[in-house]
Structure 1
Amino acid sequence: MELDNVMLARMLTSLTLGFHIIFAAMGVGIPVLISVAEWLGIRKKDPMYTLMAKRWVKGFTVTVAVGVVTGTCIGLQLSLLWPSFMKIAGEAIALPLFLETFAFFFEAIFLGMYLYTWDRFKNPYIHWLFSIPVVIGSTASAFFIMTVNAFMNAPQGFSLVNGAIVDIQPLVAMFNPATPSKTGHMILSSYATSAYVLAALAAYKLLKGNAHEYYRKALSFTMVMALLFSFGTALWGDIAGKYLAEYQPAKLAAAEWHFETKPQAELVLGGVLDKDTLEVKYSLKLPYALSILADGSPNSVVKGLDQIPKEYWPPLFIHYLFDGMVVIGMYMLIVPIFFFAWRKRKKGQTPRMLLRAIIWGAPLSFLAIELGWVFSEVGRQPWILVGYMKTQHAATTADNVGEMLVLFSLLYAFLAVVSTAVLRRMFKDKPVQAELQ
């Protein structure tokens, strides 16, 4: 594969998004768990839940700092690497870009108040109230930035006349058909992933023999949240599937290796594709499932790739990305169900195998988000702005993109090492027993 400017720009943008989304997901989800934990601590008069909030918010500040740096890199790269795209998007979708910055400032202001006002009020609910704007700001930030990505998949709210953008309607561009599925799915998956990250920390301590009640309560609490948010993510996946069937049938058909337009379409899991005959072998086929996903009825006609010009077919390997998301999503649902089933049947210590499964849930949930981003972006190809601009026409013609790729790779490696070291140092030799005294 020739590494021309277009491919190098795509690689650098993918690297930045892939690294940023790790910290962005935690930046969106962890405030929710912090807020709920503190509320439970006040309501139950249980200092352990309050301590969860205190410890988690310390780590959260590190993820925010790295998220700000990598988010800034994304903004810089959009302008430098994709100038033609930003010429259109910068005008049509400028409103949510501005609102995303405002939401972050809103979150940062109240995060500072939240951090430095512990035990300053006779009524503890006053301090807890400072967490609400942090939750709103972080979630709103994700919502606004996801509307930009949604706009790339379902552009509207403007007209393109002789290469010039006219008749701009910012709210129409922002609330495009892709907005509900994109924003809801990303926000809920961030909540679920954050719950798994915090659950994995508690499970790791229990696995290492630290059976303090704090970790048992933290594990139960985070598993409840993981179950709720994983279930919500799965439900929102159904909304996303119906959006794809109506507005981006090529992406859905490529994801499911659905080559023939027909009713009662089956959903294909796994398998090997013969690229010459387009025959799928060794797959698991679920009868009617694709028709139900696409339109809610087993008899619904699902558009296949046979009705789409081959030059507009997305890369067919996105099938495996879709399968990966589905399998991991099922895992994220099953693990909490087993956890609570065991707790109900046999009260006592959680089996080591189940603790390991919870720990594995954290990296797998991040993997699902990464697969989802690649599926969304690659599945939109050859378009950067569907129906208006192809990716190859949007990339910069400037030199030295390869050198930028190397430099940013080194930056992200540095940030990964430093942030990990800081987080480890932050909690090393600081047992919860000492903090509870």
Structure 2
Amino acid sequence: MVNEETVFFSRILTELTLSFHIIYATIGVGIPLMIMISQWVGIKKQDEHYILLARRWARGFVITVAVGVVTGTAIGLQLSLLWPNFMELAGNVIALPLFLETFAFFFEAIFLGIYLYTWERFENQKKHLMLLIPVALGASFSAVFITMVNAFMNSPQGFDIVNGQLTNINPIVAMFNLSMPTKVSHVLVTAYMTCAFVLASIGAFRLLNGSKHVYHKKALFLTLKLGLLFSIVTAILGDFSGKYLAEYQPEKLAAAEWHFETKEGAPLIFYGVLENGEVKYAITIPYALSILAHLKPNAEVIGLDQFPNDEVPPLYIHYLFDIMVTIGMMMILIAFIYVIGIWRKWRFVLSNGFNWLILFGGPLSILAIEAGWWLDEVGRQPWILRGIMKTKDAATTNTHVDTMLILFAGLYFILGIGSIVVLTRMFRKNTVEQELADHGLEKAGDSL
């Protein structure tokens, strides 16, 4: 018999773990690419500031990797403990990418170690740069493989169930399921985008904190250029994701857009509130949902009226969609204004006021990542395996999940505070100015 309290605490603990882990996982995927690009730019321009930038980012990255390993292990443990019925099925069908993710991480970790401990051993920096290629590939493929598992939960395939038994299992078909292309590409690009804006936020903080060194200005310009590029690609991929949802998960799209009735020429709804089932105070864009879903202004979009009430996702995911889109559009605008402003020599983009906008952009980008994952996971409810297994049927019958929740919350609190303290002390005791002086680079490359 289903224990509703156990299901509730299992969902809360899983949400807490994923919400905490996704921060470090996003950093783990995106930062290696940022390091590689910075070192490549430094070699190409013969500018030691960019090479030092890569070196300092790499030091901080190691700390986040260590925390990410702990939280990633916690997720694997909790999947088995909290959702045993799901893992019994998934273990037979979709275990392959879970193993491959582990190998990808080891591949990344081995070359990251070699990269970190061979800074002084390469006279030719290009050879040292080559070590970052497997690091970046390993990090990205870790995300690819684990996202395949999540995509499988949204569009399960690669098996049949006959008389309650699994048959015709094909792990490759399960991995390359229908939602895999849009989900994997979106996860990768948003990780790159978020890391670019987080690193830009750090550069803006140093400038606001009184440093006038060109090193931080170069860091800001590089990361915001990359952030602009990846945010534009993210918007394009978001459009593809909308079309996928319209075709294969229409209930999620309808819930996210508060689209209650199936009709042609459906509008796109931003913000607003629900009062007695009626949408009020919203910004409505006529025909936009039909265009998003089918590229036709008069196309029919399936509404929530086509689904049983017990299969309709929670309607608050509309606000998660709004948060994600609003922050994304805001960051595109900030990055675009800054990059154009540097080229056109607009002085206001160098002001403290604009640096405050960039500073807040980092945490807001993390919030957008969180909102996107909550939208994806909550928007699949009530299913843990869409159309096959409901979340309540997958949960453990153990009655001590509330105790586990308290223990894991304490662990994440310690890890979060600890990583912030370690990173802060690491860079406070080893400032950019000091490191440049130690290497005799005070006057290296004084312009963008």
The Cα shift of 1:187 comes to: 1.0
Q: Give the equivalent residue in structure 1 for 2:360.
A: 360
Partner amino acid for 2:73?
T
Q: Give the equivalent residue in structure 1 for 2:68.
A: 67
1:295 paired to 2:297: no
1:23-172 mapped onto 2 (5 Å cutoff): 23-172=24-173
Structure 2 Cα separation of the partners of residues 431 and 150 of structure 1: 43
1:187-336 mapped onto 2 (5 Å cutoff): 187-274=188-275, 276=276, 278-336=277-335
Where does structure 1 differ by over 6 angstroms across 4 or more consecutive aligned residues? none
Structure 2 Cα separation of the partners of residues 174 and 302 of structure 1: 29
SS in structure 2 opposite 1:5?
helix
The Cα shift of 1:163 comes to: 2.1
Instruction: Give the count of matched residue pairs.
Output: 434
SS in structure 2 opposite 1:89?
helix
Structure 1 Cα separation of the partners of residues 125 and 373 of structure 2: 40
The Cα shift of 1:347 comes to: 5.0
Structure 2 Cα separation of the partners of residues 415 and 122 of structure 1: 38
SS in structure 2 opposite 1:210?
coil
Structure 2 Cα separation of the partners of residues 206 and 429 of structure 1: 18
Partner amino acid for 1:312?
E
SS in structure 1 opposite 2:269?
strand
Instruction: String of CA shifts for 1:144-167, please: whole Å, max 9, x gaps.
Output: 000100000000000112222111
Structure 2 Cα separation of the partners of residues 320 and 337 of structure 1: 26
Q: Normalization by structure 1: what TM-score? A: 0.98
SS in structure 2 opposite 1:8?
helix
Partner amino acid for 1:286?
I
Q: Which runs of 5+ in 1 are unaligned?
A: none
Structure 2 Cα separation of the partners of residues 43 and 345 of structure 1: 24
Structure 1 Cα separation of the partners of residues 408 and 430 of structure 2: 34
Q: Give the equivalent residue in structure 2 for 1:186.
A: 187
Structure 1 Cα separation of the partners of residues 196 and 344 of structure 2: 24
Q: CA RMSD in A?
A: 1.1
The Cα shift of 1:119 comes to: 2.8
Partner amino acid for 1:372?
G
SS in structure 1 opposite 2:270?
strand
Q: Give the equivalent residue in structure 2 for 1:377.
A: 377
Structure 2 Cα separation of the partners of residues 14 and 435 of structure 1: 41
Partner amino acid for 1:190?
A
Structure 2 Cα separation of the partners of residues 309 and 158 of structure 1: 26
Instruction: String of CA shifts for 1:354-391, please: whole Å, max 9, x gaps.
Output: 10111111111110111111111111111000010000
The Cα shift of 1:264 comes to: 1.2
Aligned identity (percent) is 57
Q: Give the equivalent residue in structure 2 for 1:430.
A: 430
